[in-house]
Amino acid sequence: MSFTRSILTLSLMAAFAIHSPLLSANDAFNDNPINSENDEFEDDFDDSLEDFYGDEEFVSIATGTKKSIHKAPSVATVITADEIQAMGANTLHQVIETVTGIHTYPSNFNRMNPSYSIRGIHTAENSQVLVLVNGVRTTFAFNGAKWNIFDLGVNLIDRIEVIRGPGSAVYGADAYSGVINVITKGTENDFKNDAGIKTGSFDTKSAWFNYGFQQDDLKLSFNGQWQDTSGDSSRVVQTDLLHLFGLSGLSNAPGALDTRHRYVDLHAQLDYKGVYANLWHLNIEGGTGAGAAQALSNSDKVTGKQTNIEFGYKTKVTDNLNIDINLFHQQFEDYTYFKIFPAGYIHADGVEYTDGFIGAPEGEDTNYGFKFTSTYSGISQHNLRVELGYKDTEEITDEAKNFGPGIIQDGQTTQDGTLTSVKGTPYIFLGDSERQLSYISLQDEWAFASDWEFTAGIRYDDYSDFGSTVNPRLALVWQTQHNLTTKLLYGSAFRAPSFGELFSSNNPVLLGNPDLKPEEIDTWDLAFDYRPNFDWKILFNIYKYKASDLITVVAGKKENALEQDGIGSELEVHWQLNDRFKIKLGYARVDAEDSDDNAIADAPKDTFDMNIQWQISPDLSVYANSFWINNRDRAATDLRPEIEDYNLTNLTLNYTGLDNITITLAAKNLFDSNAREASNGVISEDYPLEERGYWLTAKVNY
């Protein structure tokens, strides 16, 4: 029923637009004699390319240098601030979901952290996707994944650049299945000063500002957003802890998932005659979803504080030589209070925990180092890029708890909620850890003919704790016709073992192994960018990958014991129906299996998305987005019924008829679908997603 309703809604919108008396994109081009006749393209190839691609977005994530998307040696997507405004997104993760071939899901292991499934590489920690903010890593050294309950100010974003596929030749570790770089409004991009407020369902409140200033050679920018939500209390679940363990008092179920979330995201940038400084502070806190043991505790709490400071100098030494020297210092503090089991829980050793079974791990990451980047175009038809750098990563840990060795005494029958630190004892989950990284990256973009470009790159990374790794990439981009680009791509990537995987102890779900090697992957892509006329864009790619040395638990210990093979395709069709209406259809298919010939658990094999933007009048626009998540297999050991497919539809209205003010009304899950994402088995009927909700936003430009 939800499929029928969403198709009906979007079809009606398309019908209205088709019959509206609007100037078509072809009519507009026909006023220009160059655009009116196809044989003109053969007379002036360069002019025709500019006609087809002249208004295209540029992307720098693929090579570290700025290129138009159709020429980038990767499968790339750019989402702009205008598109984010049009969709009325509340979170970064809602924006990423609109990228064909990427599915956003809650981790079924780690605090329901928002995670990204790319090309069937779908894990509980989600450490195979590298997420950057203005080129800064958001990686927690303990598990190698994004910071816990990560999000940031969606109204501060200038654009998001995404590549699907490996990126280690440029970015090093963890650029494995994809790379996402979120670029905020700052001194390197033009934006209008604005401020706004938002309110809506689930007690959501938000406020933000973007301010930029320039005088002569001095550029300054300041941005900030605060957002707070209580979460959807209707997401009630039941647990099977009683059935699985045969003990009562293990859970607060039935109860609501704890999806409280609050953040403060602040940015400041300065640029003066090539000298630059960037400051980023992010403070996040929230609930732990279903809890550490899926026992449902609304008294859990996760907090994270990150501060990154960069100083640098970039200059054009000659007409052909540019350099950028960057020094950075980043600190991230993570603290979690887990009430693993509720008050009155009786452990197998007979001890009753009157205030609950409680643990409070914390970690503090410190990263500092430098990188030197240089580009040189003084050799005919070549653009050379060199980057070398050094980073020191230190993690200091602590753990307080009211259970376990060193705390519970022989003969003890009860224990209250008093927490005791086990730092400096053999009983801590992870001792202090440190690693050093040195690397060098080389790349050549060689335009060896007018319609051919060959990119070759390689990066060498040397880690103090597990050794070195080399990752190459090759890309051949052929302007096959004036309206067709063909790309043949190969890339190798790696994921570095995290501190937790290497050194964890006293943790039954994460016992470390200091002999681990990095996970590795080789990926091949064949991609096409076809523009049959000025109204259509068709993007299609097929890929194959082989992942090896994947880290998993074997006999209670982390081992490089799995492999994964995947083959798939991604298709996007963009249609500019007329100058006020456009539609994008996307479909992705992947078949991925592990070394035991099992389908990858919980990863969707088929996803479909549809986005429609309609400028109804000069002051009113509508954005509709619908996506389908299909064909997810359970783990081989999970005997529950199959995971149900689902469809979600979102609808947003933007009104600009007031002076310098934009009013946005957004409805998410418009048809109130009962959509669910896979749990790990303790939650018997999976994780329900948010019910239908509404949000109202007011933005003022100043």
Query: Residue 42 pLDDT more than 60?
Result: no
| Tens digit of each residue's pLDDT (9 = 90 or more) over 392-411 | 999 999 999 999 998 999 88
The tokens describing 49, both together, are 């390319």
- What per-residue confidence (pLDDT) applies to 58? 82
What is the Cα–Cα distance from 552 to 334, expressed in whole angstroms? 24
| Tens digit of each residue's pLDDT (9 = 90 or more) over 589-642 | 999 999 989 999 999 999 999 999 999 999 999 999 999 999 999 998 898 999
- What per-residue confidence (pLDDT) applies to 109? 83
Across 66-217, the runs of DSSP E, i.e. the strands, are 67-68, 75-80, 102-106, 114-118, 129-133, 136-137, 157-164, 178-184, 194-200, 204-215
Task: Evaluate the CA torsion angle 190, 196, 199, 202 in order and state its sign.
Answer: positive
- Select the more confidently predicted residue: 407 or 246: 407
Alpha helices (runs of H) in 23-122, residue ranges in sequence order: 25-30, 33-36, 39-43, 45-53, 81-87, 92-96
SS3 575: strand
Query: Residue 3 pLDDT more than 90?
Result: no
- What per-residue confidence (pLDDT) applies to 508? 56
Tell me the percentage of the chain whose pLDDT exceeds 90: 79
Neighbours of 493 (CB within 10 A): 32
Count of domains in the chain?
1
The whole domain housing 640 covers: 2-701
For 555: left if phi > 0, alpha if psi spans -120 to 50, otherwise beta; the answer is: left
What is the Cα–Cα distance from 612 to 651, expressed in whole angstroms? 10
SS3 182: strand
Task: Give the pLDDT mean for 212-238.
Answer: 96
Task: Give the pLDDT mean for 79-95.
Answer: 96
Output phi, psi for 638, to 5 deg.
Answer: -100, 110
- What per-residue confidence (pLDDT) applies to 247? 55
Contacts of 220 (CB under 8 A, 6+ apart): 187, 212, 213, 214, 268, 269, 270
- What per-residue confidence (pLDDT) applies to 684? 84
Query: Residue 225 pLDDT more than 80?
Result: yes
Lowest mean pLDDT among 17-31, 311-325, 450-464: 17-31
Task: Give the pLDDT mean for 562-570.
Answer: 97
Alpha helices (runs of H) in 386-497, residue ranges in sequence order: none
- What per-residue confidence (pLDDT) applies to 32? 39
- What per-residue confidence (pLDDT) applies to 681? 80
Task: Give the pLDDT mean for 523-531.
Answer: 97
Which amino acid does the sequence have at 78? V
For 639: left if phi > 0, alpha if psi spans -120 to 50, otherwise beta; the answer is: alpha
Q: Do 498 and 127 form a contact (C-beta atoms < 8 A)?
A: yes
What is the Cα–Cα distance from 272 to 219, expressed in whole angstroms? 6
H or E segment and range at residue 529: strand 519-530
Task: Give the pLDDT mean for 503-514.
Answer: 80
What is the Cα–Cα distance from 550 to 600, expressed in whole angstroms? 13
Query: Residue 539 pLDDT more than 50?
Result: yes
Q: Is the peptide bond before 166 cis (omega within 30 degrees of 0)?
A: no
Tell me the percentage of the chain whose pLDDT exceeds 70: 90
| Tens digit of each residue's pLDDT (9 = 90 or more) over 360-378 | 999 999 999 999 999 999 9
Contacts of 489 (CB under 8 A, 6+ apart): 73, 74, 75, 165, 473, 474, 475, 476, 523, 524, 525, 526, 527
What is the Cα–Cα distance from 357 to 298, expressed in whole angstroms? 14
Burial 222-249 (b: 16+ CB within 10 A, else e): bbbbebbbbbbeebebebbbeeeeeeeb
Confidence label for 61 from pLDDT (cuts 50, 70 and 90): confident
- What per-residue confidence (pLDDT) applies to 644? 95
What is the Cα–Cα distance from 250 to 348, expressed in whole angstroms? 12
| Tens digit of each residue's pLDDT (9 = 90 or more) over 421-474 | 999 999 999 999 999 999 999 999 999 999 999 999 999 999 999 999 999 999
- What per-residue confidence (pLDDT) applies to 309? 98
Domain containing residue 324: CATH number? 2.40.170.20
* Bridge-based pairing state of the strands 114-118 and 102-106: antiparallel
Confidence label for 298 from pLDDT (cuts 50, 70 and 90): confident
The tokens describing 401, both together, are 């708890």
What is the Cα–Cα distance from 541 to 77, expressed in whole angstroms? 13
* Sheet bearing 129-133, strands edge to edge: 75-80, 157-164, 178-184, 129-133, 136-137
The tokens describing 700, both together, are 């003022």
Contacts of 530 (CB under 8 A, 6+ apart): 483, 484, 485, 537, 538, 539, 540
Confidence label for 19 from pLDDT (cuts 50, 70 and 90): very low
Confidence label for 25 from pLDDT (cuts 50, 70 and 90): very low
DSSP designation for 637:
T
